[in-house]
A and B are shown apart, each in its own frame.
Chain A
Amino acid sequence: MSHHKLEAKDLHYSYPDDHEAVKGMSFCIHHGESVGIIGANGAGKSTLLMLLMGVLFPSQGEVCVGDVHVTKKTLPMIRQRLGMVFQDPDDQLFMSTVYDDVAFGPRNYKLDEKEVETRVLHALELVGILHLKDRAPFKLSGGEKRAAAIASVLSMHPDVLVMDEPTAALDPKSRRRVMKLLTSFKHTKIITSHDLDMIYEMCDRTIVIKNGEIAADGVTSEILVNAQLMDECGLEVPLAMQNCPVCGSAKE
Chain B
Amino acid sequence: MANIMNSLYNMRLLDDLARQETIIHKLHPLMKLLTTVSFLTVVVSFGRYEISGLLPLFVYPVMVFSLAELPLKPILLRILLVSPFIIGIGILNPFFDQQIYRLGGMEISRGWLTFLSILIKSGLTVTAALLLIASTGMDRLAGALRMLKIPRIFVLQLLLTYRYISVLMEEVARTLRAYSLRAPNQKGVHRSAWGSLAGQLILRTFDRAQRIYEAMCLRGFTGEYETGGFKEIRVWDIAYWAGWMLFFVAARLYNIPMVIGSLITGVIR
Across the interface, A84 reaches (CB within 8 A) one of B15, B218, B224, B229, namely B218
A108 touches B220 (CB 8 A): yes
**CB interface residues, B 191-238, toward A, < 8 Å:** 208, 211-212, 214-222, 224, 226-229
Interface size class of B (residues with CB under 8 A): 20 to 34
CA–CA, A92 and B214, complex, Å: 9
Is chain A's binding surface mostly helix, strand, loop or mixed?
Answer: helix
CB-CB under 8 A from A91, the residues of chain B are 208, 211-212, 214-215
CB-CB under 8 A from B50, the residues of chain A are none
Task: Output the residue of B12, B18, B217 with the most chain A CB within 10 A.
Answer: B217
B228 touches A100 (CB 8 A): yes
Contact A79 B228, CB 8 Å, known A94-B212, A95-B139: no
A109 touches B220 (CB 8 A): yes
B222 touches A92 (CB 8 A): no
CB-CB under 8 A from B177, the residues of chain A are none
CB-CB under 8 A from B138, the residues of chain A are 96
A76 touches B220 (CB 8 A): yes
B212 touches A105 (CB 8 A): no
B12 touches A55 (CB 8 A): no
CA–CA, A238 and B19, complex, Å: 46
CA–CA, A242 and B220, complex, Å: 44
Q: Chain B nearest CB: distance from A248 CB in Å?
A: 42
Q: How many residues of A contact B (CB 8 A)?
A: 32
Write the chain A residue with the least CB distance to B224: A108
A152 touches B220 (CB 8 A): no
Chain A CB within 8 A of B97 CB: no
CB-CB under 8 A from B208, the residues of chain A are 91
Contact A108 B226, CB 8 Å, known A95-B139, A96-B139: yes
Chain B CB within 8 A of A150 CB: no
Chain B CB within 8 A of A153 CB: yes
B139 touches A100 (CB 8 A): yes
Interface residues of A (CB under 8 A from B): 50, 53, 55, 76, 79-80, 83-84, 86, 88, 91-92, 94-97, 100, 103-105, 107-110, 113, 116, 134, 136, 138, 152-153, 156
Given A96-B12, A104-B221, A113-B228, output 18 extra A-B contacts at Cβ < 8 Å: A53-B218, A55-B217, A76-B220, A79-B219, A83-B218, A84-B215, A91-B211, A91-B215, A92-B212, A95-B139, A96-B18, A100-B227, A105-B219, A107-B228, A108-B219, A108-B220, A113-B229, A156-B220
Query: Which are the 4 A-B pairs with shortest beta-carbon distances?
Result: A107-B226, A108-B220, A105-B219, A96-B15
Interface residues of B (CB under 8 A from A): 12, 15-16, 18-19, 137-139, 163, 208, 211-212, 214-222, 224, 226-229
Question: Can you give 27 contacting A-B residue pairs, CB < 8 Å?
Answer: A53-B218, A76-B220, A79-B218, A79-B220, A80-B220, A88-B211, A91-B212, A91-B214, A92-B212, A92-B215, A94-B163, A94-B216, A96-B138, A100-B227, A100-B228, A103-B228, A104-B216, A104-B221, A105-B220, A108-B219, A108-B221, A110-B226, A116-B228, A136-B12, A136-B15, A138-B12, A156-B220
